Structure 1
């Protein structure tokens, strides 16, 4: 039971890390573009 628990935990953490990275890239891309356009508009 214990030996089986560790790999599944590792996979879960890996999946969450990958999903988090994808979410960050997906949200950060448009956010950076929006900030750049907002700064240009403000200036």
Structure 2
């Protein structure tokens, strides 16, 4: 694995996981807002 140590791989893996988690959170919030808009449109 070249000059990458176990700690480095864990570190970068954690950063990637954090990024994925943030992306998922943002996407779910956007979808939730869109769904709420559609629901209010249907009710109105």
Could you tell me the TM-score, scaled by structure 1's length?
A: 0.76
| RMSD across aligned positions (CA) | 1.2
Paired with 1:32 and 1:13, the residues of 2 have a C-alpha distance of 28
Q: Provide, for residues 1-23 of structure 1, a one-character-per-residue CA deviation record: whole Å limited to 9, x for no partner.
A: 21110110100110000000110
Structure showing the higher helix proportion among its residues? 1
The alignment covers a number of residue pairs equal to 40
Structure 1: give runs of 5+ residues left out of the alignment.
Answer: none
Structure 2: give runs of 5+ residues left out of the alignment.
Answer: none
- Runs of 4+ in structure 1 deviating by more than 4 angstroms, as ranges, are none
Could you tell me the TM-score, scaled by structure 2's length?
A: 0.75
